[in-house]
DNA sequence: CCCGATACCTCA
DNA sequence: GTTGTGAGGTATCGGG
């Protein structure tokens, strides 16, 4: 047998059944961590096969055990079930529907504000009835029979590794300085008010807005109320979005917008958030690889993927430690160049700034135009300056643009599209899918059809970028482990992953090695997915004490 | 009183 | 001049 030995774990009758080399051994749950630790220490360690990483790995990590690799049957099942390159018959089994519905469980102690009762966990975990051995056999058969076998194997490995990264990030937690967070809030909002009262600065801004509009009971959170008040002073904005209000010439605008910005900060990431989500200097959201249809990760708990820029100074490395912050420049257009095999676009990307490369090729006049053109092509802009710029782009980079047009056209026909490694898009179900594209249709149907085309257009790029990024963090995880010694949180380790950006918490002495590892992993991910196609993935890498030291995007 | 839809803002 | 992807999250508001 080539590759690491597979060891399959299943919970049965209060214990764990460990299957290796076709033999079953029953182990009490409390002895599992020691067994895993022992096998991990032998050579390269096995490949653990289990129903769902969120049901196994947090307890192992809590016991100080790290695993090198696994197969996460839940994550792989979801990929294969939707892949256009997989024979669905080969995946069909008596418990297929149960695998479809298997949901991850929360790694944290449950609901914010208190530990979850034991029962909650069990209710959310019907995995006990699933036959992991049978599912593994079906998955292996389905992959083996697929024309995209090699790519699906890469995707399965990346997804499974992503599950490990996600659990480790929650386990270690994002370093979060409550005192710094509090200081930032006080600077913006004034001192923390007593329960039930608004912060001083909000009270003052609301007073200003109300008197400027002569509306003493105005609730600025109510769009209807706000529109009424504005109409009384002869202002007729079409909506109450900040960008719209900003166009108005009225003394109420400044306090209104400032009130909105600060009340949002207070409601979303204020003192209540701090109490709820930060414990012992760590913020521990749940990270969900493949949580988004495109394959991007989702997160749950405290809005981890939208940490406002103003609060990033509160993310500070421990004493003697550093944060290494790295983000990929223009990830999606680079992935587009690779998946469409557009050598011209790859050449434009070679200089490091893809947008400047597009300008230098003569496609458009300015960097701003290049950005409009590239983003417009990937999102499906038709009108306005974005739409015009896409035409210029199409003349110079026909392959890349055609790749997107084909994805959009397939979506408009109601067909699924696929990422580079074989993740399939969902199939639409709206009423428009019942008609031939050339038949007369209602405006609403036509709008939906085009909207779905924009989704599939974007899916091939966003999804392919997501699998590149998951491969990147999977490779990085391995390199970080080798840099240090001890448990996960004692070595350099990932603490946050945001689509195209990673934060690594590392002992200061290893920070430069980490910076090299982050670049090395990006290079290896590019070769792993795209072979010798000449696309590069340059990174901005910063080493500092705080997240904000990196400057941001 | 809960629930879903809507509006808006945050992030990539 | 025209805004085109994917999320999480909080608030309001109307319906059951």
Distance A79 CA to B9 C1' (A): 32
Residue A500 in contact with residue A331, Cβ under 8 Å? yes
pLDDT tens digits, A305-326: 989 999 999 999 999 999 999 9
Q: From the CA of A444 to the C1' of B5: give the distance in Å.
A: 19
The answer to whether A81 CB sits below 7 Å from nucleic acid chain B is: no
What's the CA gap between A376 and A386, in Å, rounded?
5
Give A236 CA → B5 C1' in Å.
25
- What is the CA A296 to C1' C7 distance in angstroms? 9
Give the burial class of A508: count Cβ atoms within 10 A of its Cβ; 0-12 exposed, 13-18 middle, 19 or more buried. middle
pLDDT tens per residue, range A409-448: 999 999 999 999 999 999 988 888 887 767 777 777 888 8
pLDDT top residue among A247 and A118:
A247
Summarize the confidence of residues A251-271 as an average pLDDT: 92
Cβ within 8 Å of residue A129, ≥6 positions away? A95, A98
CA distance A474 to A311: 28
- Contact between A289 and A477 under an 8 Å Cβ cutoff? The reply is no
pLDDT tens digits along A221-242: 888 889 999 999 999 888 898 9
Mean pLDDT along residues A46-60: 97
CB A127, CB A55: distance < 8 Å? yes
Give me the pLDDT at residue A125, please.
47
Please state, in angstroms and rounded to a whole number, the distance separating the CA atoms of residues A239 and A356.
Answer: 36
Give the rounded percent of residues in chain A with a pLDDT score beyond 70. Answer: 95
What digits encode the pLDDT tens for the residues A127-153?
Answer: 678 999 999 999 999 999 999 999 999
Which residue's CA lies closest to nucleotide B8 at its C1' atom? Answer: A241
pLDDT of A552 reads: 57
Res A118 pLDDT > 50: no
Does residue A342 surpass a pLDDT of 70?
yes
Which positions on strand C lie below 7 Å from a protein C-beta?
A: 1-14
Token pair in block for residue A254: 């400044």
CA A173 to C1' B8 (Å) is 30
Q: What is the pTM of this model?
A: 0.94
Q: Is the pLDDT of residue A181 over 90?
A: yes
Pairwise CA distance, residues A447 & A432, whole Å: 9
Task: List the end-to-end C-alpha distance of chain A, in Å, as a whole number.
Answer: 46
Question: Which SS3 state, helix, strand or coil, does residue A63 take?
Answer: coil
d(CA A420, CA A154): 11
pLDDT (mean) for A267-271? 91
- Strand C reaches within 7 A of the A111 CB: no
pLDDT above 60: residue A124: no
Q: Which nucleotide minimizes the distance between its C1' and the CA of A384?
A: C2
Mean pLDDT taken over chain A: 91
Read off the pLDDT band of A553 (50, 70, 90): low
Residue A75 near residue A160 (C-beta atoms within 8 A) = yes
The first and second tokens of residue A399, run together, are: 């392959």
Phi, psi for A454 (deg, rounded to 5): -65, -35
Q: Which residues have a Cβ under 8 Å from the Cβ of A434 and sit 6 or more positions away? A: none
**Pairing outcome for strands A539-544 and A321-328:** antiparallel
Which of A552, A166, A168 shows the shortest CA–CA distance to A325?
A552
Confidence band, pLDDT 50/70/90 cuts, at residue A123 = very low
**Per CATH, domain A1-173 is 3.30.420:** yes
Domain boundaries, chain A: 1-173, 178-278, 332-460
Say if CB A5 and CB A40 are below 8 A apart. Answer: no
Indicate the burial class of A63 (C-beta count within 10 angstroms; 0-12, 13-18, 19 or more): middle
Query: Residue A196: what pLDDT?
Result: 81
In what helix (H) or strand (E) does residue A188 lie, and over which residues does it extend? helix A178-189
- In contact, A83 and A151? CB cutoff 8 Å: no
Within 7 Å of a protein beta carbon, the nucleotides of strand B are 7-12
Name the residue closest to B10, CA to C1'.
A306
Please check whether strand B approaches the CB of A27 to within 7 Å.
Answer: no
∠ Cα A253 A256 A262 (to 5°): 135
Q: Is the CB of A241 under 7 A from strand B?
A: yes
A18: Cβ contacts below 8 Å, ≥ 6 apart = A7, A8, A9, A24, A25, A26, A27, A35
3-state class (DSSP) for residue A175? strand
Cβ of A309 less than 7 A from strand B? yes
A122 pLDDT tier (thresholds 50, 70, 90): very low
Q: Which residue from A446, A72, A494 is spatially nearest to A290, judged by alpha carbons?
A: A72
Smallest CA–C1' distance to C1, residue:
A384
d(CA A173, CA A281): 9
């Amino acid at each position: 047998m080539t590759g690491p030995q597979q060891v399959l774990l299943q919970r049965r009758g209060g214990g764990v059944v460990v299957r290796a080399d076709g033999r079953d051994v029953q182990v009490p749950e409390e002895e599992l961590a020691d067994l895993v630790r022992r096998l991990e220490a032998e050579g390269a360690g096995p490949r653990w096969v289990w129903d769902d990483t969120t049901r196994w790995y947090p307890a192992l990590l809590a016991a100080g055990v790290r695993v090198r690799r696994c197969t996460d049957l839940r994550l792989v099942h979801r990929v294969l079930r939707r892949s256009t390159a997989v024979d669905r018959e080969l995946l069909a089994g008596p418990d297929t529907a149960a695998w479809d519905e298997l949901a991850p469980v929360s790694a944290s102690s449950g609901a914010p504000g208190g530990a979850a009762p034991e029962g909650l966990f069990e209710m959310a975990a019907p995995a006990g009835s699933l036959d992991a051995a049978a599912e593994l056999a079906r998955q292996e058969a389905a992959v083996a029979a697929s024309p995209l076998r090699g790519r699906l194997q890469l995707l399965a490995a990346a997804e499974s590794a992503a599950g490990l990264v996600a659990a480790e990030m929650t386990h270690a937690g994002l370093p979060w300085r409550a005192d710094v967070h509090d200081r930032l809030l006080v600077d913006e909002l004034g001192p923390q008010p007593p329960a039930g009262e608004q912060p001083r600065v909000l009270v003052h801004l609301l007073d200003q807005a109300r008197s400027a509009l002569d509306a003493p009971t105005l609730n600025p959170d109510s769009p209807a109320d706000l529109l009424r008040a504005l109409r009384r002073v002869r202002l007729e904005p079409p909506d109450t979005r900040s960008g719209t209000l900003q166009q108005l010439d009225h003394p109420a605008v400044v306090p209104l917008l400032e009130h909105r910005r600060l009340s949002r900060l207070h409601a979303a990431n204020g003192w209540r958030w701090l109490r709820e989500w930060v414990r012992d200097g760590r913020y521990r959201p749940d990270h969900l690889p493949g949580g988004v249809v495109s394959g991007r990760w989702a997160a749950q708990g405290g809005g981890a993927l939208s940490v406002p820029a103003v609060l990033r100074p509160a993310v500070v490395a421990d004493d003697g430690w550093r944060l290494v912050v790295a983000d990929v420049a223009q990830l999606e257009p680079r992935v587009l160049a690779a998946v469409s095999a557009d050598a011209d676009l790859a050449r434009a990307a070679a200089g490091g700034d893809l947008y400047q490369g597009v300008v230098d090729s003569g496609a458009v006049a300015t960097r701003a135009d290049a950005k409009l053109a590239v983003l417009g092509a990937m999102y499906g802009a038709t009108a306005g300056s974005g739409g015009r710029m896409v035409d210029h782009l199409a003349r110079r980079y026909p392959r890349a643009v055609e790749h997107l047009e084909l994805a959009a056209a397939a979506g408009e026909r109601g067909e699924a599209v696929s990422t580079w490694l074989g993740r399939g898009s969902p199939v639409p179900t709206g009423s428009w899918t019942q008609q031939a594209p050339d038949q007369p249709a209602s405006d609403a149907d036509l709008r939906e059809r085009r909207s779905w085309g924009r989704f599939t257009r974007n899916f091939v790029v966003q999804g392919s970028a997501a699998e590149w990024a998951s491969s990147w963090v999977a490779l990085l995880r391995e390199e970080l482990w080798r840099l240090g010694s001890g448990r996960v949180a004692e070595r350099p380790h990932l603490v946050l992953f945001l689509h195209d950006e990673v934060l690594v918490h590392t002992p200061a002495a290893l920070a430069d090695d980490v910076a090299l590892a982050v670049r090395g992993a990006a290079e290896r991910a590019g070769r792993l997915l795209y072979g010798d196609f000449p696309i590069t993935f340059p990174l901005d890498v910063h080493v500092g004490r705080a997240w904000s030291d990196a400057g941001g995007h």
